[in-house]
Amino acid sequence: MSSSSSCGVSPSVRTEILNPISSRFFAPSRINFQPRSKCEMINRRGFALKGIVASGVSVMGSSLTSEPVQGVERLPFKPDGYNFWTWRGRKIHYVVQGEGFPIVLIHGFGASAFHWRYNIPELAKNYKVYAIDLLGFGWSEKAIIEYDAMIWRDQVVDFLKEVVKEPTVLVGNSLGGFTALVAAVGLPEQVVGLALLNSAGQFGDTKAKTTESEETFLQKFVLKPLKEVFQRVVLQVLFWQAKQPTRIESVLKNVYINTSNVDDYLVESIKMPADDPNAGEVYYRLMTRFMLNQTEYTLDSFLSKLTCPLLLLWGDLDPWVGPAKANRIKEFYPNTTLVNLKAGHCPHDEVPELANKALVDWLSTIAKKASSLQTV
């Protein structure tokens, strides 16, 4: 990645961050099993810069005065969290409800287990539902480490082995979707189904050069340190901008096409973890070492090793990750069921009644197959 792409922020991008185009508003409608027309997929850098602002939602105070979605039960918000598990000496938060066949829900970038607030109670009527906070997010410890996709893969794999201990379906949104994919590949004997909701991750570029020239003395000891200092300054400024209440509201409305579920509960569930003293450093490390450098791990490299049924539950109106990506995943991995929803980047929270129905319908077939295999 060149210095200009990793350190600077172009005027057009800066304008987009501070003054996003107002989103259109759509009422939730029926599930559409026919793929929509293709839309252009965003590039990796654009997604990362928008991730800067999305994680900035986590700093606005509010009181939990909003009412839950009519007719949909909501997980009670607990400021101290629910349950904790120690992993490699780190404190990991998770929620567990219900009995039966287990499901593990994995949140996206900047979110937490509470983002599944409208899904956990409904799914728990028939299944044992876990929702885990990834290391560095939510109520889990803000460890000062070098983050990459394999850290969260190892966390989820160990959670399945040590806590769940049964054949399981993984469900992930955005970054949590990619984490669920790599975990499913890492533990195929226990993961019997995978559901991705507007997953992060990119297909590999077969034309990209794989060789890197050796760094010169000037690059290694002068230019690289200066680049890192400049990155930190730029990210600090962007993070400060992202904390402003007007900016927070704009970002939420940008990723939720129908904004009726953008409420105090949602804001508070993402705001509280940012009060951790290590949150700022974790954010910087996530952005510079993970979000802006995602070339090592690609969707196709893991999909080619996947062995279980795959559900794509896709918000077609996502301004960041459009339906073309879902179509490409389905084309690459034929053992896929694609369900299109009229929603944005987080369909499970924007249209929970539709997302829950699609998940339950698909899960019923997966659970039956898993049960039959156990009895054989």
Domain range list for the chain:
81-204+293-372
Global pTM value: 0.79
pLDDT tens sequence across 81-131: 999 999 999 999 999 999 999 999 999 988 999 999 999 999 999 999 999
Name the band, by pLDDT with cuts 50, 70 and 90, for residue 264. Answer: confident
- The CATH homologous superfamily of the domain defined by 81-204+293-372: Alpha/Beta hydrolase fold, catalytic domain (3.40.50.1820)
Segment 284-297, tens digit of pLDDT: 888 877 766 667 79
- Residue 256: C-alpha distances to residues 26, 122, 134, 251, 351 (Å): 10, 21, 22, 9, 10
Query: Which SS3 state, helix, strand or coil, does residue 221 take?
Result: helix
